Structure 1
Amino acid sequence: MNPQPVTTVRLTPAAARTVATELRTADHATETGGILLGHHSADVVTIHHAGTPGPAAVRTPTYFLRDRAHAQMLADQAFAADGSVWIGEWHTHPTGRPIPSARDTATYQQLLGDPELGFTSVVALTLAPRDGQWTGTAWVAHDRGVATAALELLKPHPRNEATGRLH
């Protein structure tokens, strides 16, 4: 059974903190990012964990490639913690807008086309600086292309906070 198309992406406080910390500490001249791990239910994806780039990540002003071994370790930890699975990725565009580039779109389509991964959609958060602050947009890639999704930041709640953040 295929899940419904994603219309809303919810980001837990723990995942938001990981992204915010990376944005504060990263070299803003190059792209950075990480994997997104969570659950897909009906037309909503909840991101419980956001990863960091990892020590072997490739970062240039216009390109980011996560450290695959680091991402796998984070995915294993998240699955063991709460059953979260890989649902997508987040990354920055330090000199652009928070929209997927042609390279980003091609990457999402490649992930969708890999039967071993089993993606029916790929969630992406793209962040870019605007007026001295980072602004982000949620995107969902599926077999019909790439579309925006509503992005909601969940409020802290003891049950939501039980899932720790991953680095």
Structure 2
Amino acid sequence: MTWSYRRAPGSLSRGRGAVAEKRDQYLPLMAQGLSNSAACREVGTNRKTGNRWRYGRKVVDRSGREHVYPPITKERDTGASSPRFLSEDERIVIADLLRAKKSLRAIARELGRDPATISREVRRNRDPRTGKYHPFQAQRRTAVRRARSKEVKIRRARS
């Protein structure tokens, strides 16, 4: 499966990716009573993508692990509890700009972040096989890392 993160020049506000914009346009259309097909046609995305946004989905990878992608809601939980952490939208922008062959420093300037933050994010979350940066995978990995129990660290500190 391939994802498209490209932005049309001048069509989106600074700091937002095309996928996030379409997703944000999709919800109000569905709330107005449009069918999934009509809302997707209006937003300019595939009908299957609309179904995935609406109902979520479950994917089983080659190793048999199950990945659950929840449906989108009005207020998306990006997992960033503070501005200190990168949001999903910022990760999408990083992917857009990497595909546009922008430097890490240029990406950092665009997002108003330190270049080391962008470098660390890309290094930690590149696909080990292809070397490509996938923002949604990066968001999931970050959530998993943050959710991990810190008991081991606490026990080490006490001993």
TM-score by length of 2: 0.26
Structure showing greater Rg: 2
TM-score by length of 1: 0.25
Identify the structure with bigger relative contact order (alpha carbons < 8 Å, sequence gap 6+): 1
More strand as a share of residues: 1
More helix as a share of residues: 2
